[in-house]
Amino acid sequence: MKIDLKKDLKDFYQPGSAEFVEVHLPPRSYLAIDGHGDPNTSRDYADAVAALFAISYAVKFALRARTGEDFVVGPLEGLWTSEDPTSFTARRKGEWDWTMLIPLPDVVTTDDVDSGLASAARKKPELPVGSVRLLVLDEGRCLQIMHVGSYDDEGPTLARLHQEVMPEAGVTFNGPHHEIYLSDPRRVAPEKLRTVLRQPVRPI
């Protein structure tokens, strides 16, 4: 059986779409790459995502060659920050900093990652493979919800989180806004896109 994080960790990847729920996430390893600007228009963003997937598949093959184990390459995820948090609810995308991620199963080692990086660098020299790093993310307590619809329609849900849900729970921000993209926008209509919206929090 292939390891499939979306299925194996349903509490983290399959929240409901009606209300925010609280989860407690343990530290997890990701392939990560940083950038800035509007993801819809930035060539750097497109190249960064392509590099992440190229390395992820190379890591998958390195693990299979080493152990015989296999995994489904995880969904694209993103950490989003801005000097002005209202840029998210207002969708001023040119002000956003991003760290794009792909999660790795626990069986993957640093040697597998190093092998994948080297392989991807040989096969895809045009991509920013050298900018990809291994990141361990320890988010802990989080609030999250499933957003169904266009990315540009997230604003009201995030406003409700920031202005109602978090104050009522007595919590504040404890890390970047985190999104998990469960749908392929090239194949799924905007109104049917499924995106986990996650916010690490701590007591005020």
The strand pair at 21-25 and 28-36 is best described as unpaired
The pLDDT, as a whole number, for residue 93 is 83
- pLDDT classification of 33: cutoffs 50, 70, 90: very high
The pLDDT, as a whole number, for residue 88 is 74
> What three-state secondary structure class fits 129?
helix
The pLDDT, as a whole number, for residue 83 is 79
- Report whether pLDDT(196) > 90: yes
Q: For residues 44 and 100, give the distance between their C-alpha atoms in angstroms, rounded to a whole number.
A: 12
How do the domains of the chain map onto residue ranges?
Answer: 5-203
Residues 6+ apart with CB under 8 A from 82: 88, 92, 95, 96, 97
Mean pLDDT of all residues belonging to the chain: 94
Architecture of domain 5-203 in this structure: Alpha-Beta Barrel (3.20)
pLDDT in tens, 125-143: 999 999 999 999 999 999 9
Cross-strand bridge partners of residue 79: 99, 178
